[in-house]
Amino acid sequence: MTEKKKELLFDQFPPVSTEEWKAKVEADLKGAPFDKKLVWRTNEGFNVQPMYRAEDIADLKTTDSLPGEYPFVRGTRTDNDWLTRQEIIAGSAKEANEKALDVLTKGVNSLGFKIKDATPEELSTLLNGIDVEKVELNFSCCVKKALLFASVLVDYLKANGLEAKFRGSIDFNPYKRALKHGVEFPGDVCALAVKMLDAVKCRCLYIPGIRLCSCMGRFVAHHVDRCRCRCSGCCIPYKIQYGYLKQLFHGACQIPCGTHALGSDRKTIWRG
C-alpha cells in the first residue's frame, strides 16, 4: 500500500529531463561555466558530475551485482560494520596504555600503537586492562624489528589463550622509507616477510585474525614527492609494489596457512 501511494505521488509531477535540470543549474550559476564550477576532476583523470540519474547507470553491468559477489566491484564484504580507530601517540608504553583506556570509553573500538622496543614487557604494559576480544589492535614498528615483534605478539596471545580471538595487524611496510627518502632497504624484504608469516603459523598453529603485510596504497598515494610528475610519483611506486607483492606471494605459497595473513579487508574510520 505504501509503495502504491508513492507511485501515485510521483504521477502528480511531470518528469524532468537532464537538460532541464542542467538549464536550471546554469541559471542559478548566473553565467559561470557549469563544468568549471561543478564538475570535479580526480587525480586519476575522471570527471565527477554534481548529479547522476538513472540513465547514467543504465548500461553498467555492476548494477546487477551485490556487495560480496564476484567480480567484487562493490566490495568483498556483505556487512557494513565499520570500526572507529584511534592512533595512540605517547612517550612511553604506560602513557600509551592510559590514553588507550581513555579513548575506549569514548566509542573507539580499534587502536593503533607504535612499538619501540618490541619486548614482551612493552606489549604487556600496552595491553594492560584492554579487552583483546572486543578491540582491534594494530601495531607499527621499525621494519627490522617486525619479525621479533611478530614472535612476541604470538607468544602473548598464546599465553593468554587469545589465538582465535585476536583481531588486528602488524604494519610491515618495507618500502615506506625507501619511497619517501630514496634509500634502499638493507636485506631481502620478501624473505623477511615470509619469515613473519611462518612465525605466525608455526609458533601457535594459526591466528586467523592477524594481518601482517601492508600494501602501502595510502602511503604511496599521499606521501610520494609531490613535485614529481604523476607517472613518476604514482605509477612507478605501484609497479615496485606489484613486484614486491608478486615475489611475496610466490614465497608465501610455501606456507598454506600463512597466506591468509596478507592484506586486510577490515573497514575502519580513522579518528584525528
Maximum alpha-carbon separation in the chain:
72
Confidence of residue 58 (pLDDT cuts 50, 70, 90): confident
The C-alpha cell that represents 125 in the structure block: 604494559
pLDDT (tens digit per residue) in 195-225: 777 776 654 456 778 887 554 444 333 333 3
100 vs 268, which has greater pLDDT? Answer: 100
What is d(CA 86, CA 109) in angstroms, rounded to the nearest whole number?
A: 8
Nearest CA among 129, 92, 134 for reference residue 113: 92
Q: What is the pTM of this model?
A: 0.62
% of the chain at pLDDT higher than 70: 70
Cβ partners under 8 Å of residue 271, min gap 6: 84, 85, 86, 87, 103, 108
What is d(CA 185, CA 202) in angstroms, rounded to the nearest whole number?
A: 26
What is the structure's pLDDT at 8?
67
Q: Report, as an integer, the average pLDDT of 178-205.
A: 68
